[in-house]
Amino acid sequence: MQMHWRIPFDCMSEPQYKFTILTPTYNRVGTLYRVHESLKRQTCRDFEWLIVDDGSTDRTHDAVQSWQTRNEFPIRYFWQKNQHKKTAFNRGVREARGEFIITLDSDDELLPDALQTLADAWENIPSEQREQYVGVTGLCARPDGEVVGDRFPQDVFDASAVDLYFRYGIKGEKFGSLRTAVLSQFPFPEDVAGFVPESLIWWAMARAGYQNRCINRVLRTYHLSADGVSQGAVSIRNNAQGLYLLAWDTLEHHMEWFRYRPKAFLMAAARFTRFRLDLEHSGVPTAVQAYPLKCLSARALVVVMWPLGYLLYRRDQRRGVA
């Protein structure tokens, strides 16, 4: 079963660049300069910088205009009313002119050889096999150089996003390039309010048969920000639909991986109940209605974990977060 929000965008015209650096942003003029400075230092110059401004009210536009006048590399800027990062990302994919998209947050930076490393890694895949790959994935590091999360089992390692998470248990932030032609077929669902976990997109591409070429090379310097979703501080009140979808997708599509990560599936079953009840209590059970759980083994697991799910839901109620 494929998620019914998988709707292909219009076919992209012939790429004009190797890479599109896509930066969705919202009121980040104070950190966006880091992206600009890191792009100036790239040894590979075959790229454009595409900025999708999700309704900023600071001086983001002024800063971008000043960089555009310097003519250091192509910069395109789009402003839209504030809708959410996922809609800004979808807009960027539609507008991209690169063969590959690299999503770089508005407070992070690329290492100087990042684009060349990604290009070289892609060229090392035999040309007759490249259609099986969605792109190249590398590592992130903190400003002190410490690698974020786990390294890959080998310096060059091929696996799907599903394999990486469920079979190999690779944890931590990763970073790389994705083929625009493939990514355009898997947009974020814009009818789901709030945060939608990126895993839903990566896993859908994996189920469609796409592999990642993984390399143990640091490509991105990762800066924590007070309002960053990646820190795990996701509001349940505003994002319950996306969190429900993540639990649903884990159970509906991936139960064959239970033996590799039983705890992850047990917790997904508890969260399925937790967020379903949160949504029903809030009066907006849209995702519950649109994405019912049909897998019989998953439904049995939800029954087993129902008491914990209910306790988590009651805790949300006491804390006033649902």
pLDDT tens, residue by residue, 120-177: 999 999 999 999 999 999 999 999 999 999 999 999 999 999 999 999 999 999 999 9
pTM of the model: 0.89
Query: Residue-wise over 219-245: b if at least 16 C-beta within 10 A, else e?
Result: bbbbeeeeeeeeeeeeebeebbbbbbb
Residues 239 and 136 in one domain: no
The angle formed by the CA atoms of residues 181, 94 and 34, to the nearest 5 degrees, is: 100
Query: Which structural domain range is residue 63 located in?
Result: 17-230
pLDDT tens, residue by residue, 16-62: 999 999 999 999 999 999 999 999 999 999 999 999 999 999 999 99
Residues 176 and 239 in one domain: no
Residues 99 and 118 in one domain: yes
Query: Helices (DSSP H) in the chain: which residue ranges?
Result: 29-40, 60-70, 85-95, 114-123, 161-162, 180-183, 199-207, 236-253, 262-282, 286-290, 296-319
Residues 296 and 216 in one domain: no
pLDDT tens, residue by residue, 211-262: 999 999 999 998 876 554 444 445 676 788 999 999 999 999 999 999 999 9
Per the CB < 8 A criterion, the answer to whether 21 and 104 are in contact is yes
Measured distance CA(234)–CA(230) in Å, rounded: 8
Identify whether 41 is part of a domain. yes
